[in-house]
Structure 1
Amino acid sequence: MTQPHDTRQIIEVDRTPETPRDVAGKRRYIAVAGNIGAGKSSLVEFLCQRYDIEPYFEPNEENPYLEDFYADMNQWSFASQIYFLTAKFKLHLDLDQTTHSVIQDRTIWEDAEIFAENLYRKKLMSERDYRTYRQLYEAVRSQIQPPDLMIYLRCPIRAVKKRIKLRGREMEKNIPTAYLKQLDRLYEGWIANYNLSPVVIIPSHELDYVTDLVDCHDILTAIEKYL
C-alpha cells in the first residue's frame, strides 16, 4: 500500500465491503485527510470552486487550548484533543443534517487515530487520559456516518515544513520535526488499513492542480466519480 513519496501517481483504493451503494440523488460527504501542512484546506477550497459542495474546515482558530498545547504538549494534550473531538462531533451532527454535498478538512478519525494516538505513544498524554478519550471517541464514532470518499494527501516532511513556514502561523513555527515525522508514520499506517470508504491518495507535493491542466484533469477524474 505505501508508495514512495516522490511518485506523481494518484492511487485509488476501495476496501469497503461489496455492498450495493445507493448513490442516485444522494448528497455526498467527502473528507480530506493529511498531515499538518499537507494542503488540505487548499484542496477543499479548490474543489468547492469546481463543484456545488459546502466546506467544513478544521476548527483550529476556535480551539482555546491550541496555543498552550504547542507550548506545553504534556500539560494540554488531553484538553486540546477533547476540544477537537467535541467540535468534530458537533460538526458531524450538523453536516449529517444537510441535504447538499459537503467536504470536510480533517476528520474525527484522524483526531483519534493519529493525533491522540501519537500523544499517548510519546507519553505526552497519560494512560488514564487516553483511556477516557478513547471511550468517548468510540461512543462518538458509533453515532456518525463515514464519508463517501476519503481523499488522503501524501506529503513528505520537507514539503510539510516548508508549507508550515510559508503560512506563518505563530503557534506552528516551533513544531518539532520529530513530531511531524511521527504523525506521518501514523498517517501512513492508518490509511493503509482504512476500510470505511473508497480512498483517493494524492501526492500533494508533486501535483499542481491550480496551474497545471494535466494535474488538474487527473485529480478531478479520480474524484468526480464519487461526486
Structure 2
Amino acid sequence: MITISGSIGSGKTTLTTLLADHLGSRAFHEPAEDNPIIDDFYRGNRIAAQRRAAGEADAHNPYAFLMQVYLLNRRFATIKQAMRDDDNVLDRSIYEDRIFMRMNYDRGNVREVEWRTYEALFANMMEELPYAAHKKSPDLMVFIRAGYDTLIRRIARRGRPFEQVDRDPSLAGYYRELIRYYDEWSRAYDASPLLVIDAERYDFERDADDRAAVFAMIDRSLAAVR
C-alpha cells in the first residue's frame, strides 16, 4: 500500500489518481465532497477566532472534535479496503490525522478533554490496525512538500468555496501554520520508508516530463521496498 501525504492543496488527490493509473491499481480518496461536517467546521473556526479576539475564555470550535473523529473513522475503514489488493494508493494516511487534531488543540479549537479522548482513540485504532488491515503502516509514504504560493494556486484551481483565502482571509495563517506542522511531522516520521516530492520543482499535474520523473522516483522507492 502506498500513501500520499501533504498539506491541503499540495496535490495529493491528483497524484493519488495519476499514480494508481500508472501502477494499474485503485485510488482511495479521502472524503471531501461528501463530508457532512466540513462547512460547519470552517464556520466554527471563524466563530472561535472571533471569540478569542474578544477575549472569551472558552473559544473552542464545537465541530472540530466531531470533524476529526469522523475523518479518523472514515480513514480506518478506507485502509481496510485498500489493503485487499496490491499497490493500491491511499490519499492521505491515518498518521496525518493527528497533525490536524494537534493543530486544532494548539490553536484552542478543541478542549483538553477532547484532545485526550482523541489521543486514546487514535492509539487504540493503531493497535487494532495490524489485525484489521494486516499491517500497521504503509509500504511507502510519499510526502508532497509545497510552499504557500503553490498551495494557494492549487486551492484556487480546484475551487472549493470553503477553502478560499479571498472568502476567508484567516485561512492564510491557517495554511502557513499547516505547512510548518507538516514539515515537523515529515522530519519525525519513521513508520515506513518516506519519499519526499518537491512540488516547487515537479509540476506532476500539468507537465508530462515532471510527472514521469516523479513516477520514476516512486518506482525506484517501491523496488527498494520490495
TM tier relative to shorter chain: 0.7 to 0.9
Residue in structure 2 matching 1:101, options 50, 69, 87 = 87
Match of 1:222 in 2: 217
Match of 1:20 in 2: none
| Secondary structure class of the residue paired with 1:208 | coil
CA–CA distance in 2 between the matches of 1:102 and 1:39? 17
Counterpart AA for 1:43: L
Match of 2:152 in 1: 161
CA–CA distance in 1 between the matches of 2:212 and 2:155? 27
Counterpart AA for 1:103: V
Unaligned runs of 5+ in 2: 46-60, 130-135
CA–CA distance in 2 between the matches of 1:211 and 1:178? 27
| Secondary structure class of the residue paired with 2:62 | helix
More helix by share: 2
Match of 1:136 in 2: 121
The Cα shift of 1:95 comes to 2.1
Please give the residue correspondences for 1:182-201 in structure 2 after superposition, counting only pairs within 5 Å.
182-201=177-196
RMSD (Å) for aligned C-alpha atoms: 1.5
CA–CA distance in 2 between the matches of 1:104 and 1:224? 16
Cα deviations across residues 66-90 of structure 1 (Å, max 9, x unaligned)? 1100111312100100100111111
Say if 2:23 and 2:87, in contact at 8 Å, map to a contact too: no
The Cα shift of 1:208 comes to 2.5
CA–CA distance in 2 between the matches of 1:82 and 1:168? 26
Counterpart AA for 2:127: S
2:79 maps to 1:92: yes
Structure 2 CA distance for partners of 1:108 and 1:215, relative to 1, 3 Å: same
2:65 maps to 1:83: no
| Secondary structure class of the residue paired with 1:151 | strand
CA–CA distance in 1 between the matches of 2:44 and 2:5? 25
Give the alignment's TM-score, normalised by structure 2: 0.82
Aligned length: 197
Counterpart AA for 2:73: T
Percent identity over the alignment? 30
CA–CA distance in 1 between the matches of 2:137 and 2:195? 15
CA–CA distance in 2 between the matches of 1:171 and 1:38? 16
| Secondary structure class of the residue paired with 2:190 | coil
Say if 2:3 and 2:138, in contact at 8 Å, map to a contact too: yes
CA–CA distance in 2 between the matches of 1:198 and 1:94? 22
Say if 2:10 and 2:199, in contact at 8 Å, map to a contact too: yes
Match of 1:176 in 2: 171
Unaligned runs of 5+ in 1: 1-28
CA–CA distance in 1 between the matches of 2:101 and 2:205? 33
Cα deviations across residues 103-152 of structure 1 (Å, max 9, x unaligned)? 0111111111x100100000111010010011001111122221110000
- Higher RCO structure (Cα 8 Å, ≥6 apart): 1
Give the alignment's TM-score, normalised by structure 1: 0.82
Say if 1:63 and 1:80, in contact at 8 Å, map to a contact too: no
Say if 1:37 and 1:160, in contact at 8 Å, map to a contact too: yes
CA–CA distance in 2 between the matches of 1:57 and 1:211? 20
The Cα shift of 1:100 comes to 2.8
CA–CA distance in 2 between the matches of 1:134 and 1:54? 30
Please give the residue correspondences for 1:30-41 in structure 2 after superposition, counting only pairs within 5 Å.
30-41=2-13
Cα deviations across residues 44-66 of structure 1 (Å, max 9, x unaligned)? 11112211111100111232111
2:103 maps to 1:118: yes
CA–CA distance in 2 between the matches of 1:61 and 1:210? 20
